[in-house]
Amino acid sequence: MKQDKSIIQSLTDTDFYKFTMGQFVWKLFPNVNVTYGFKNRTKEVPLAKIIDEGQLREELDHARTLKFTNSELHYIGGTFEYGNRMFSEEFVNFLQSVSLPEYLLEQSNDGYRLEFSGPWHFAIYWETLALSIINELYNRALTKDMTNFQRNLFLADGMVRLGKKNKEIKRFRDLFFSDFGTRRRYSRKHQDFIVGALVEEFSETKQFLGTSNVSLAMKYGVMPMGTSAHELFMVTAGLNDGSDMAMQGSQNQIFEKWWEMYGYGLSIALPDTFGSAFTFKTFLREWLVKWKGFRQDSGDPIYFAQKLLFLYKKHEIDPKEKVIIFSDGLDVGKIIKLHRDFSGKIRCTYGWGTNLTNDVGTPPLSLVVKPIRANGYNLVKLSDNLAKAIGRQEDIERYKKVFTYDETFFEPCTY
Amino acid sequence: MKQDKSIIQSLTDTDFYKFTMGQFVWKLFPNVNVTYGFKNRTKEVPLAKIIDEGQLREELDHARTLKFTNSELHYIGGTFEYGNRMFSEEFVNFLQSVSLPEYLLEQSNDGYRLEFSGPWHFAIYWETLALSIINELYNRALTKDMTNFQRNLFLADGMVRLGKKNKEIKRFRDLFFSDFGTRRRYSRKHQDFIVGALVEEFSETKQFLGTSNVSLAMKYGVMPMGTSAHELFMVTAGLNDGSDMAMQGSQNQIFEKWWEMYGYGLSIALPDTFGSAFTFKTFLREWLVKWKGFRQDSGDPIYFAQKLLFLYKKHEIDPKEKVIIFSDGLDVGKIIKLHRDFSGKIRCTYGWGTNLTNDVGTPPLSLVVKPIRANGYNLVKLSDNLAKAIGRQEDIERYKKVFTYDETFFEPCTY
């Protein structure tokens, strides 16, 4: 059957945070139109020369035919790991009507321009699906001239690497991690293999906490992992464009509404959209007290952790009760280094992405799909690493002023 | 792996009504101890001579090792088909602690005495699991000397029969049915095959409504079907033993509480525990108005439907708005006959059991697991067919008087 060959076979083959954010924007921002843009940060790779446009369209078109199945709606509606009934009956009803909006695809300088526009609460579901499709088509293209044996050898090599990683991780029984690699995976099948192997390998030590991939969390009965993403802050800052004060205030409004909707269960703040320094200055003390912690997603993780420890201490909050989720370009060396440096001082967990699910031999790409316009306003992300900044240069400069951004950290994204 | 060979691989490989009733008794009858007893109504088959006791113990013991998985709890908690959040967060939490209580097994006159005792809200989960185990062991024993080819031929014959049934059913596009065959299935694998085939075969006409098997509803994304069973009425009548009036009133108390817990979504009444005649006399008019309808599970279905039509008309209720679910020993001939006779007069659906999931060649058994004692009181079921009556003869006679039972219908159960 044709369907079996398609890369995306389920709308839940995406990250859990698409649903936590999905409900949030469906409820609070029903009238916002967002355009998401695809960006290849690995500029030296001419994607349009490698990935066939017809195949890309075929995969995107197939994803548009999908609807949430009955069992998937049960799963989402029945989520209990983050506290009380986090998804409302009304939201689950709404999901029954969801299918992916149209896309715009064209070639531009050996690359692809790919955009998704629509009401935020529909367009939000494209992100990781589009990234998974492009990554898998890329890897298929790179391996298409291989013999079956060569391709198997390739995966065997990935398996050997995974074995080594597991052995390293098991040396630290208090080191807990999750799979965050849906968007960057080598292939759907490979991520499935990785998660299945981790469930088995860490069944005794319980160090593997779960996966961000909802389909795989369902399949393997592990915890669906997720927090929130930059898009929430990018879109709402954009909607307030024109008033510096309103833009500055928009981030805390999101934090406030997020707590109102999800409470302690999902209270991990992502602080780096406009620089963590701004967030650490403006995040209220009472929130520091009650929120679980923060996610570190760009810049120097050691510097970040030190700043955060300092912040908690300044407010006389015991950081041992708090959490950092490291999720930026991790590999086993970085994980162990961070764990050695900080695990006695603050609770650390690791959202392991590309290097977990796309470590088989082909050089991974650094791809993102981010919102670029909302109700006509251009959007911006700065992050703690200017190599990850998104937006028109003039807007980036403007946002730097508004958010008193003075980082100079710049490190090209290898993935 | 050994586990793969076990008959029961999941606590959700059971009928959906075990959960609707499970929550009901967990909430309302937390202090009731119930003993369930296995009964082979196909008396001429000496089960203990056919099924090895060691194998039976192994399968029962394996079922006792099972717990609900994370994904299964999501599924149950997320059930949305019958209205608002039918399973509470507290109940789903409780399910995390459930495992099957001990069993008592001994041979007695070439048969097995098999009983399950414990708090009602734990022991309730044994019923269909035990029945599925015994049926599958029986069929394995009957086919153990066959060659692989013979066994495949056997299943091929079952497939041909299913093809004929589907063709017959498709002649009536307004005929809708469900799979109710978990407890009587030929094997787990065979029921899985049947449900998968029905999903595919009726994908256009939508005549296959769903399955009572929760695992398979999950797997195939179809509706989990279920209502309630005799045990609710048997146990509560037993708890009121000693007072005729309290016993008579106990059934309506269950109907009342059931509506309070589940409302319209699950408002299908099972009237035959102590004879449908008694229920049709005592069921309040306002309930006739608001409840969806009734399930017919014993006696003459035509007589039942006529009596019910008469009842609705007497109360000036349009029966075309009401439902009968026929679920007693159906085959395609009976289904079509009932459909022809009644489908213009009242909405009819069909819960198809043994003849759907155990129609491959071996003669099916008529096995049940029913409550026999509750907090020390002996229990009784009369039903509309005295061949299906359960209880000690003296208790049966007593119950007949209490519930003014005067049916004489008696038809041996072929399945």
A303 touches chain B (CB under 8 A): no
pLDDT in tens, A136-148: 999 999 999 998 8
| Per-residue confidence band for A3, with pLDDT thresholds at 50, 70 and 90 | very low
B95 touches chain A (CB under 8 A): no
pLDDT in tens, A255-279: 999 999 999 999 999 999 999 999 9
B residues 200..239 contacting A (CB < 8 A): 217-223
Measured at the CA of B73, the angle between CA B72 and CA B76, to 5 degrees, comes to 85
**Residue B343 C-alpha, separation from nearest chain A C-alpha, in angstroms:** 28
First to last CA, chain B: 34
Cross-chain Cβ contact A70/B219 below 8 Å: no
Across A318-330, average pLDDT: 97
- Nearest by CB to residue B78, choosing from A73, A220, A221, is A73
Write down the pLDDT at residue B153: 84
The structure tokens listed for B328 are 């007693």
Q: Is A107 helix (H, G, I), strand (E, B) or coil?
A: strand
A85 touches chain B (CB under 8 A): yes
Residue B112 and residue B106 in contact, taking contact as beta carbons nearer than 8 Å: yes
Residue ranges of the alpha helices (H) in B97-213? 120-123, 127-143, 148-170, 188-201
Cross-chain Cβ contact A79/B75 below 8 Å: no
Cross-chain Cβ contact B221/A72 below 8 Å: yes
**Residue B62 C-alpha, separation from nearest chain A C-alpha, in angstroms:** 20
Per-10-residue mean pLDDT for chain B, 415 residues long? 73 98 98 97 95 97 97 96 92 97 96 97 98 96 90 87 94 97 96 96 96 97 96 98 96 98 97 98 97 97 97 97 97 97 96 95 91 97 95 96 93 80
A136 touches chain B (CB under 8 A): no
Q: How far apart are CA A267 and CA A226, in angstroms?
A: 11
pLDDT in tens, B60-74: 999 999 999 999 999
Contacts of A69 in chain B (CB under 8 A): 221
Please state the ipTM of this predicted complex.
0.77
The phi and psi torsions of B94 (rounded to 5 degrees) equal -60, -40
The mean of the pLDDT values for chain A is 95
For tokens 């389909």, name the residue: A215
A97 touches chain B (CB under 8 A): no
**Checking phi first, is residue A328 left (phi over 0); if not, alpha (psi -120 to 50) or beta?**
beta
Q: Please count the CA atoms within 13 angstroms of the CA of B48 that sit on its side-chain side.
A: 11
First to last CA, chain A: 34
Q: How far apart are CA A62 and CA A2, in angstroms?
A: 10
**Checking phi first, is residue B361 left (phi over 0); if not, alpha (psi -120 to 50) or beta?**
left
Write down the pLDDT at residue A182: 97
**Checking phi first, is residue A391 left (phi over 0); if not, alpha (psi -120 to 50) or beta?**
left
Which of B3, B73, B75, B82 would you mutate first to test chain A, the one with the most A CBs within 10 A? Answer: B75
For tokens 């015994």, name the residue: B134
Write down the pLDDT at residue A4: 52
| Per-residue confidence band for A413, with pLDDT thresholds at 50, 70 and 90 | confident
3-state helix, strand, coil in chain A (%, to 5): 50, 15, 35
The structure tokens listed for A222 are 């592990």
**Residue B139 C-alpha, separation from nearest chain A C-alpha, in angstroms:** 30
B70 touches chain A (CB under 8 A): yes
A96 touches chain B (CB under 8 A): no
DSSP state string for B346-375:
SEEEEEE-HHHHS-SSSPPP-EEEEEEEET
Q: What are A195's strand-pairing partners?
A: none
Please report which helix (H) or strand (E) contains residue B33, including its range.
strand B33-40
Cross-chain Cβ contact B222/A70 below 8 Å: yes
User: Residue B284 CA to chain centroid, in angstroms?
Assistant: 25
Cross-chain Cβ contact B89/A93 below 8 Å: no
DSSP state string for A308-320:
HHHHHHHTT--GG
CA dihedral for A170, A172, A175, A180, sign (positive or negative):
negative
Is the pLDDT at A2 greater than 60, yes or no? Answer: no
Computed over its alpha carbons, how large is the radius of gyration of chain B?
A: 20
- Nearest by CB to residue A80, choosing from B73, B79, B217, is B73
Which of B11, B23, B70 would you mutate first to test chain A, the one with the most A CBs within 10 A? Answer: B70
Contacts of B81 in chain A (CB under 8 A): 70
The mean of the pLDDT values for chain B is 95
Q: Report which of B202, B216, B195, B85 is spatially closest to residue A71, judged by C-alpha positions.
A: B216
A72 touches chain B (CB under 8 A): yes
Q: Is A298 helix (H, G, I), strand (E, B) or coil?
A: coil
Which of A12, A73, A80 would you mutate first to test chain B, the one with the most B CBs within 10 A? Answer: A80
Q: How far apart are CA A212 and CA A352, in angstroms?
A: 10
**Residue B361 C-alpha, separation from nearest chain A C-alpha, in angstroms:** 32
The phi and psi torsions of A268 (rounded to 5 degrees) equal -110, 115
Q: Report which of B380, B289, B384, B308 is spatially closest to residue B346, judged by C-alpha positions.
A: B308
Q: How far apart are CA A222 and CA A85, in angstroms?
A: 18
Cross-chain Cβ contact A80/B74 below 8 Å: yes
Residue A85 and residue B90 in contact, taking contact as beta carbons nearer than 8 Å: no
Please report which helix (H) or strand (E) contains residue B22, including its range.
helix B17-28
Write down the pLDDT at residue A202: 96
Q: Report which of B249, B232, B231 is spatially closest to residue B240, judged by C-alpha positions.
A: B249
In angstroms, the Cα distances linking A37 to A89, A233, A372, B347 are 31, 16, 6, 52
The structure tokens listed for B335 are 């289904």
Query: What does the DSSP 8-state code read for residue A55?
Result: H
Q: Strands A176-179 and A347-352, how do they pair? A: parallel
The structure tokens listed for A97 are 């009507």
**Residue B365 C-alpha, separation from nearest chain A C-alpha, in angstroms:** 32
Q: Report which of B305, B396, B290, B410 is spatially closest to residue B350, judged by C-alpha positions.
A: B305
Cross-chain Cβ contact B92/A74 below 8 Å: no
* Angle separating helix axes A244-262 and A393-402, nearest 10 degrees: 80
